[in-house]
Amino acid sequence: MELIRRYEVVARERLDQGVYDYYAGGAGDEQTLAENDRAWRRWWLRPRTMVDVGAVDPSVTVLGRRLAAPVIVAPMAAQRLLHPDGELGTARAAAAAGLAYTLSTRATTDVAEVCAAAGGGVWFQLYVQIDRDATEAAVRHAVSSGVEALVLTVDLPVAGRRERERANPEIALPEGVTLATHTGRPAESTIKPLGGWDPGLTWDDVAWLRDVGDGTPVLVKGVLTAEDAEAAMAAGAAGVIVSNHGARQLDGVVPTAIALDEVATAVEGRVPVLVDGGVRDGGDVVRALALGADAVLIGRPVAWALAAQGEGGVAELLAQFAEDVERALALCGCPDVAAVTRGHVQRAAW
Ligand SMILES: Cc1cc2nc3c(=O)[nH]c(=O)nc-3n(C[C@H](O)[C@H](O)[C@H](O)COP(=O)(O)O)c2cc1C
């Protein structure tokens, strides 16, 4: 948490106000944004003692890939707005840390370049457009580039009402930088409210995507209820990501630390459950594991580290984050991730 705060302070100094607000902001009055962080603290950790934690192994296997810790970088748009290292820097830092990286549809670097730089462990986040031919071309390009999963974002049928973005509705990308053409549209040189995404997406589209992706696992990102978790599994999702889009879509939706309990209980281990939103230290990761998650994704902390110090900053952040997970496991009496149980958390009384 402390390390993240330092990066955010530096990032805030370095970035234009509009860019900082774009990354930091949430929807509406930002009630859910504030609660996403705080809600993890509604679960107190219940450590066990006198367990041999002389050698703690924080690694996990997600979709067949071994990760050094149960941590994945969340998809975030336009990372060359933050630092010239952009997506290549974050993806390389994640690979060096032995973690997976998720590339946004709205990246400023093409997926083929990112896959080549990372050498594996890259997932592609997909916004489905009304223009299905363009979406299919993007998926095929991502799959042939070597992505290991498709992350279908389902919580953006329309853009959230983001008050902070109203002051700066269109942010110019740095000189020479454009959005990658994952949408099939001509390269854009600004980032502005989303357009062209398909508000008519339904669960049937999961099968369509599996088909287009030639069997590449499809993770559904944006699940907050047991009902949607069931629907995602019935539709053939390889996993679900409990997410409220970093509180950027509908203000007032349930914080993910609370939704995770319901979703993981419904999934009963049938598919991997991942979670993001306000995960800020090793203790939060253990809380997520105890509530039934297989791994977490982290978003803004990575953005601040990139903005502050480029690829080296992200590498340092991820290394320290993984170390903090290891420490929290040891202090909870868990020699590995499998040792974490529901009994390692209790709901706070207030
Ligand atoms: C600036 C910004 C851009 C984002 N862009 C995307 C995106 O392109 N696709 C997506 O599925 N989620 C996107 N997200 C949501 C993140 O993937 C993730 O759900 C969220 O940021 C996690 O919460 P955290 O930032 O509190 O760790 C974005 C989030 C931020 C802050």
Q: What is the pLDDT of residues 70-108, one digit of tens each?
A: 999 999 999 999 999 999 999 999 999 999 999 999 999
Measured in Å, residue 319 CA sits from the centre of ligand 1 at 21
Spatial separation of the C-alpha atoms in residues 14 and 9, rounded to whole Å: 9
pLDDT in tens, 274-306: 999 999 999 999 999 999 999 999 999 999 999
pLDDT grade for 169, boundaries at 50, 70 and 90: confident
Reading the block at residue 46, the tokens are 């219940």
- On whether the pTM is more than 0.85, the answer is yes
Instruction: Spell 256-278 as b/e; 16+ CB within 10 A means b.
Output: bbbbbbbbbebbeeebbbbbbbb
Report residue 63 CA to chain centroid gap: 16
Note the pLDDT of residue 208: 97
Q: Mean of the pLDDT values across residues 251-268?
A: 98
Strand partners, 152: 126, 220
Spatial separation of the C-alpha atoms in residues 62 and 69, rounded to whole Å: 10
Q: Is 245 labeled as catalytic in the residue annotation?
A: yes
Nearest CA to ligand 1 atom 13: 76
Note the pLDDT of residue 76: 98
Reading the block at residue 315, the tokens are 């590498």
Note the pLDDT of residue 350: 60
Other CB atoms within 10 Å distance of the CB of residue 185: 13
pLDDT in tens, 195-224: 788 999 999 999 999 999 999 999 999 999
The pairing of strands 122-126 and 218-223 is unpaired
Which of 245, 250, 274 has most ligand 1 atoms within 8 Å of CB, for mutation?
A: 245
pLDDT grade for 181, boundaries at 50, 70 and 90: confident
Q: Mean of the pLDDT values across residues 240-249?
A: 97
221 lines ligand 1 (CB under 6 A): yes
Atom of ligand 1 lying closest to residue 156 CA: 11
Which of 23, 150, 248, 279 has most ligand 1 atoms within 8 Å of CB, for mutation?
A: 248
Query: What is the residue-averaged pLDDT of the chain?
Result: 95
21 lines ligand 1 (CB under 6 A): no
- Whether residue 129 contacts residue 181, with contact meaning beta carbons closer than 8 Å, is answered with no
Note the pLDDT of residue 202: 97
Measured in Å, residue 51 CA sits from the centre of ligand 1 at 37
Give the best-scoring range by mean pLDDT among 3-7, 170-174, 180-184.
170-174
Q: Closest Cα partner for 141 from 183, 99, 172, 85?
A: 183
Of 83, 182, 245, 344, which one is the catalytic site residue?
A: 245
Distances in whole angstroms, Cα of residue 147 to Cα of each of 115, 122, 143: 7, 5, 5
